[in-house]
Structure 1
Amino acid sequence: MNKWIDVSQLLSNKVACWPGDTPFSYRVSWSKEESGSVNVSEITMSVHTGTHIDAPFHFDSEGKKVKDLDVNLYIGEAKVVHLHNPSSISVEELKKIDLAGVTRLLIKTGAWTNRETFPTSIPPVDLGVAAYLSNQGVRLLGLDLPSVDSLDSKELAAHHELAAHNVHILEGLVLDAIEEGDYELAALPLSLTEADGSPVRAVLRKR
């Protein structure tokens, strides 16, 4: 049986976070020497650190929170495709891909090479992509990028358009060594009842 492949960013004090957001921090807060029996640790982080999902509440105060999302979106058959350093993720590029029967689409752009440093620019998802993906039956879009929008965007047009077409967002994947093809995906968010997003442990297995 094919083994599961981890496609998540490592969560360490070196992981890049969005400029101005809460940096990741880990420490042992209660050591075995202090407790007499166990080490107990704590982490501080933004829910958008590393590999994570966005809930619509992230960009819409009336939008769904993590507790409202269907976990089945984040488990199941997925297709990995490569777009080699595109200037943007466009409908024209996606029309070259056979999306018949695809529910979860994961795109490798190769645009974020050093994940210990936050990128200065990324290829955004163009307007029109959400409608196209929805019409094709895609319900989850995963990228090897920290956002579906340009990093300086305040309108977050792609986020809003994807949500409006019921296409959910998975960001920060590590697809460097992943070939194009059909896979099984598991990328479950935590049960954070009021959260606008959640870190995930994303794994793939070749079908």
Structure 2
Amino acid sequence: MSDWIDISQALNTKTVGWPGDTSFSYNLSCTKAESGSVNVGNIKMSTHFGTHIDAPFHFDDHGKKVHELDLDIYIGPALIIEWKGNGTLKAADFKNIEFGETSRVLIRTNSWKDRSAFPQSIPSIDLGLPKFLAEKGIRLLGLDLPSVDQLDSKDLQSHHELAKNGIHILEGLVLENIELGWYELSALPLSLTGADGSPVRAVVRKLSK
């Protein structure tokens, strides 16, 4: 039995994407019966569908694109913690957390309870949190939310503030049944040249610390 735990959303027609964005579809473009040898499928979806990373190019025309990102950001020790605040994730909510030497933190907010529907609202990120996390050495912030900004945001202040502090973004994680603590994380984006984001297969394996 594998020690790896999948913390990413399954990709299928029941998976809920951002309203108005390209949803997921998979079809066989060629069947074994037709070809005599193989089934060949094709997929269609947004680069921000399901569990995914945002490249800085997503919100900054001059930001790095997926193929330019450092892969070390998405592989290595990660701390999974739980937020029990109200409304806004603030630095003060995490002042007692021992981040150790990790550069990756995944936060369970428990705010997206019904995965069969896109949430009506999500918590905000206080603009002081990115600086606080950067001072702790964090380079990757993962959340169980579809965005690090409010759903109706146009200026995406949290995206920009995280980038300003050198923190990359992993969204749409599934953390409900994961024990809090230290893990090895692998959440690699696809090698999509020129892309603004990428779906990932995010998995974790428990570490003894």
CA RMSD of aligned residues (A): 1.3
CA distance in 1, matches of 2:29, 2:134: 46
* Cα separation, 2, equivalents of 1:86 and 1:80: 19
Whole-angstrom CA distance in 2 between matches of 1:44 and 1:32: 21
Residue aligning to 1:157: 157
Partner deviation per Cα, 1:143-180 (whole Å, 9 max, x = no partner): 00000000011010000000011100000000011111
Q: Structure 1-normalised TM-score?
A: 0.97
Q: Does 1:15 align with 2:24?
A: no
1:43 aligns with 2:57: no
Q: Which residue of 1 aligns with 2:70?
A: 70
When structure 1 is superposed on structure 2, of 22-31 and 4-13 the one drifting more is 22-31
Which deviates more from structure 2 when the two are superposed, residues 111-120 or residues 36-45? 111-120
**Does the alignment pair 1:138 with 2:158?**
no
My pick for the range that moved more, 33-42 or 73-82, is 33-42
Asked if 2 retains the 8 angstrom alpha-carbon contact of 1:2 and 1:205, the reply is no
Q: Is the 1:30–1:40 contact (alpha carbons within 8 Å) kept by the matching residues of 2? A: yes
Instruction: Give 2:33's aligned residue.
Output: 33
Runs of 4+, deviation exceeding 3 Å: none
* Whole-Å separation in 2 of the counterparts to 1:158 and 1:107: 15
Aligned match of 1:194: 194
Distance 1:159 1:47, change over 3 A: same
CA distance in 1, matches of 2:98, 2:88: 19
The question of whether the paired residues in 2 share the 8 Å contact of 1:127 and 1:161 is answered with yes
Within 5 Å, give how 1:75-86 maps onto structure 2. Answer: 75-84=75-84, 86=86
Q: How far is 1:205 from its partner? A: 0.4
Shift of 1:186: 0.3
Contact 2:32 2:39 in 1 (8 A): yes
8 Å contact 2:65–2:194 — kept in the other structure? yes
Distance 1:66 1:159 in 2: 16
Unaligned runs of 5+ in 1: none
In the alignment, structure 2 segments of 5+ residues that lack a partner are: none
Q: Deviation per CA, 1:20-64: give whole Å up to 9, x if none.
A: 101111111111111111111111100100000000000001100
Q: Per the alignment, in what secondary structure is the counterpart of residue 43 of structure 1?
A: strand
Provide the rounded CA distance (Å) in 1 between the counterparts of 2:25 and 2:145.
21
Question: 8 Å contact 1:86–1:109 — kept in the other structure?
Answer: no
- Distance in 2 of aligned mates of 1:133 and 1:52: 20
Please say if residues 85 and 110 of structure 1, whose CA atoms lie closer than 8 Å, have aligned partners that are also in contact: no
Q: Secondary structure at the match of 1:72?
A: helix
Identical-pair percentage: 58
TM-score, length of structure 2 as denominator length = 0.96
